[in-house]
Chains A and B, each alone.
Chain A
């Protein structure tokens, strides 16, 4: 779409050149002039094409930046409820931003599942994995190849917030996306 205005300009130039040629009639001087005009037009066209390419690249880069910014804004940690591995709407939205970005690259990601300290360690190990898998599966159904995603569970072994109480626990029930 970004190509259209540029293409328009090129067309206009070409038309002008053609018109000039048509109007000039016969005669070497006029022929020369016409050739000159054509050459000018050619240069202009090439320049315009380069310009178009540059703009396209810029736009793509801008788009990429936008995706990156969106992904960054979304954060790389997704939180869960106690004993649950169901993605919350916020997590889903955040993941959508990461998925959009991942589609533009072939990067691999690692998903680390964690739980809070409540409950038994080995059950939490399994729960952490289920959380990481929930995120992975959501990414896969949204078109990210599964071989690009590695999952691991640390259960309750690696909390980010030490200490007890829901304020700490809620921060620990998470999946972290690591690139």
Chain B
């Protein structure tokens, strides 16, 4: 019930989001399907504003915190007063509606947008934290997400990952085979979608550079698969590979200098490293089996990849220093497309159980695997930079949608698109302001 209430509340917030200037076709709508059992009630009072504030700052923060599943924002209609400074707070009023925390703030737009916020503990009747974020006026939503990050970290101890972005691929199927593939960039809440690439041929495997300034992906626009990289600021593109056979699964090394990728030019799919400066190519695996879906450990010293050298796809680890390959996963007959959290411990992957494909977390330390999702055909997991949520693609009816689940499985939300199939989400690294 709280969920429906929250969704309704969110819908009003997100409608605003979709008035964003850069309208794109594959807009995402967020639906929270499962939150924690006892989310913390928090009141986010609409921020006072001077000048032309292009966004409802408090509304964005409220959406962020609600989406985390760990907070239960108070309905604006229930607020007895709308303070914007400490002097205006009557704690009694807030205790009466059962909120534990109170966030107030003010925004002022001149040459720059400046947001001041303050968080109060209602029961202890004292200030918890205050802060200020500033930036370009047209980045109002991003600034609001930065406020969310600060509040989230203060209250949960985990850095927030709201001021981040998503990449995803959407497909519109048209009669007569005139399909359109679009690579889209959006805020972490699905707002402000921008189409980076539109093609009649498949676009796949989008991935971020570690500094979030560029992306790499596979495009079939030449009639064959080729790996491209694209600068997000300038839009400049560079075709990195054009080999016979497969050109797939680009993965940026943590230092940003190397791209791991998959080529089959020498026979079967193997992992190669491409030095981005010298364009020198080094072959990493040599096996007649399929070796694909490389991903880097955060320390950059080893790679995880999928291989069916054991008859069925499983995750293996290649140590770049020793050159030794070890098998990582042993549970079940299908474990593929690993993505490692920044802690270097949690590995999100696609796991087949009783014929269905779920997202699971494999703990590299305990070597245990736990399944996070109960839907079928779940794929392409991508972990938030703070390691809290896993974004993935699944099917809702016959449509491809994005979904997210917390690494402990407690919180779930969906991001279905207004139209078309959405797939292959890639959560950005932290973006420096």
Interface residues of A (CB under 8 A from B): 83, 117-123, 125-127, 129-130, 151-155, 157-158, 162-164
Contacts and interface: CB of A to CB of B under 8 A. Distances in A.
Interface in B246-286: 246, 248-249, 262, 264, 268-269
B336 interface: yes
A151 B202 CA distance: 17
Interface string B67-104: 00000000000000000000000000000000000000
B202 A126 contact: no
Nearest to A152: B224
Contacts of A164: 376-377, 395, 398
Contacts, number: 84
B295 to A, nearest CB: 11
Given A83-B312, A163-B398, A120 B336 contact: yes
9 contacts: A117-B377, A120-B379, A122-B293, A123-B308, A125-B248, A125-B292, A126-B262, A129-B264, A157-B220
B290 A126 contact: yes
B293 A129 contact: no
Contacts of A157: 202, 204, 220
Contacts of A126: 246, 248, 262, 264, 269, 290, 292
B337 interface: yes
B290 A130 contact: yes
B379 A129 contact: no
Given A154-B202, A157-B204, A122 B337 contact: yes
B398 A121 contact: no
In the complex, the 7 A-B pairs of residues with the closest C-beta atoms, listed nearest first: A120-B337, A126-B290, A157-B202, A126-B269, A120-B336, A122-B249, A122-B293
Contacts of A127: 290
B149 interface: no
B202 A120 contact: no
B187 interface: no
A129 B336 contact: no
Contacts of B306: 120, 122-123
Interface string B380-407: 1000000000000001001000000000
Contacts of B264: 126, 129
B292 A123 contact: yes
Contacts of B379: 119-121
B205 A122 contact: yes
Contacts of B246: 125-126, 129, 153
A57 to B, nearest CB: 39
Contacts of B290: 123, 126-127, 130
Interface in B192-232: 202, 204-205, 220, 224-225
Nearest to B395: A164
Contact of B337 (A117, A123, A129, A155): A123
Q: Name, among A117, A126, A152, the residue most crowded by chain B CB atoms within 10 Å (CB to CB).
A: A126
Interface in B13-36: none
Contact of B380 (A120, A151, A162): A120
Most chain B CB within 10 A, of A121, A152, A153, is at A121
B334 interface: yes
Nearest to B290: A126
Given A126-B290, A130-B268, A163-B398, A121 B313 contact: no
B397 to A, nearest CB: 10
Contacts of A129: 245-246, 264, 269
